[in-house]
Structure 1
């Protein structure tokens, strides 16, 4: 196989640092959310936490935008590109659902299982490109998707062949559907996001597009709070239930950091390195969950991690390419949008 060319994998001065931060922040998010639970439940309104996180991201994106543009240009540009602002409601609503489902799924699954099942997004992405864009997948791509699916299934196989199905097993199966919904939201939002970048939003400043994304996401989360009822009471209790809990503040800050680091990651590194990052996330999450929560690394967990990691690396050797003709400017504009809004 030969030796790894580390210079090619990490070409920039800060590339290795960005890579480490990227992996650490994603692992940290799952661990922090799990630590914030009390007997599998949250003592705070998770929708409100997602909303406040989006507000934090909006503030950061606005400050980055103001570094290159005067304050007076914000309202002018928002009015000028109001159609793009409206179009961003679609991926924003999908990411809103994704982020809220993340809390729900982490209350059901341990972080290791959660990250393992999220890798199924690779399979869904392949199906989306096969069906929507009529993009024929290569043999190696199909093999990697089949292997990845098998790895996710092995995690939930019981090696006790004499055990029978119970109500708990049925409950887990139902919650796996929520994981699938979460991965579908991620894939569809990414595809639609790229459509906006290459068409309607091609000439829009990338930080302004981030602002559009977060503004729309804030509206979506407010809508969920309204549906839940007692929205005024929810905001009144925010101080005691959220702002006074250091763990919740860490969750919001870590999530905002994910958005920033992801943009630098996608700009300075490539999809192959991202695949290695996903594999490392699985391994280190399993180790940390064992050390912090005492969750054992069972045989099926170890097998699932190994199989999924191999499938991801195999897939990265021949990843599914977008049907659009990409330019360097397109690539740079894409970096701050494809994944910066996911938990």
Structure 2
């Protein structure tokens, strides 16, 4: 019995490093939601730092980290040659970079409207949207068990929202606007993820070094965030300068945590697979509810508890029966399979 359990554990985490990355991924993901919520000004629920500049500095950190990782095995001069050879790919990455730019900035807005647990639960609706996109655009027929997991996911999210939290009622955006912004963020995530996967795995992208592709993505993201910052600063009299984020303690922590989270996500998918990433999401939902109660004093209502359980169950089912790319009926996935996808 013990040998069987040990073998199962080994199949999930082949090395101690993979287990460490799995745990670190969960910690950094939860940290982001908690840090953003803690950094809000209590009276207004907004931030006393420039959100766009925090996202911009995060992308800059990711770019520098990717550059260092690339230079570990390659001469720095080769970056110029790689960029010239793949200038078209650099341009194509502007599309997911633009979408992720909105996604990252909307995360701060939505976390100012919803409590962390609600935010994490609603964010899982991107699984539902992905299923619909594959069903409609790519003509991928979903199996009954896939639809069951998506229906459970929707029920769990609706159940959590039956009782609207007081902070949502009192927020200047309101619940309806908040749900629209949340839907926009989910749409950006879904569309960017599908397009990014295409760039990584098509004939051209599959031949390009992963770190080079990451640098293309982060460089384009920096450009998009700069444009967004310049646009918003012209229309907002109270806009803070780019340097204002550097003197805010919480902003610094958010930048460092987000940069580390982006890199660890790549390591997770490289060391394990995207299925384990979904399992990590189920663990996150439980932990974020507990930590939000302990640290931020958000109560765990029966709607929250049941919603977390249903959504966690649905994402695990979906992970075991994912959408296949060849249109065939999906089969349960071995969690020891590999994946080269990097985000």
Moved more, 266-275 or 244-253: 266-275
Give per-residue Cα distances to partners, 1:223-256, cap 9 Å, x unaligned.
111211359x9998443x3212221111000001
The 5 A counterparts of 1:17-96 are 17-39=20-42, 40-96=45-101
Match of 2:231 among 227, 230, 236: 227
Mapping of 1:204-283 within 5 angstroms? 204-230=208-234, 237-239=241-243, 241-283=244-286
Out of 254-263 and 6-15, give the one that drifted further: 6-15
More displaced stretch, 99-108 vs 9-18: 9-18
1:174-193 matches, within 5 Å, as 174-193=177-196
For 1:333 and 1:310, the matched residues in 2 are separated by 26
For residues 313-341 of structure 1, give each alpha carbon's deviation from its aligned partner in whole angstroms, at most 9, with x where no partner exists: 111221113349xxxxxx76523xx3xxx
- Aligned counterparts, 1:119-138, within 5 A: 119-138=124-143
- Relative to structure 1, is the Cα distance of residues 202 and 99 closer, same or farther in structure 2, using a 3 angstrom cutoff? same
Q: Are the counterparts in 2 of residues 89 and 213 from structure 1 also a CA contact under 8 Å? A: yes
- Secondary structure of the residue that 2:30 maps to in structure 1? helix
Gap regions ≥5 residues in structure 2: 328-337
What does residue range 190-201 of structure 1 map to in structure 2 within 5 Å?
Answer: 190-199=193-202, 200-201=204-205
What residue number does 2:334 align with? none
CA contact (8 A) 1:206 1:333 kept: no
Paired residue for 1:113? Answer: 118
Alpha-carbon shift at residue 311 of structure 1 (Å): 0.7
Distance change >3 Å, CA 169–CA 135, structure 1 → 2? farther
Deviation per CA, 1:50-93: give whole Å up to 9, x if none: 01111111111111111122121112211121110000000000
Aligned length: 322
> TM-score, structure 2 length as denominator?
0.88
SS in 2 for 1:38: coil
SS at match of 1:294: coil
Cα displacement (A) at 1:8 = 1.1
Structure 1 stretches of 4+ with a deviation exceeding 4 A read 166-170, 233-236
Q: Please, what TM-score do these two structures have when normalized by structure 1?
A: 0.88
SS at match of 2:206: coil
Q: How does 1:304-319 map to 2 (within 5 A)?
A: 304-319=307-322
Q: Distance in 2 between matches of 1:86 and 1:184?
A: 22
Give distance in 2, aligned partners of 1:235 and 1:168: 20
Q: Which runs of 5+ in 1 are unaligned?
A: 160-165, 325-330, 339-343
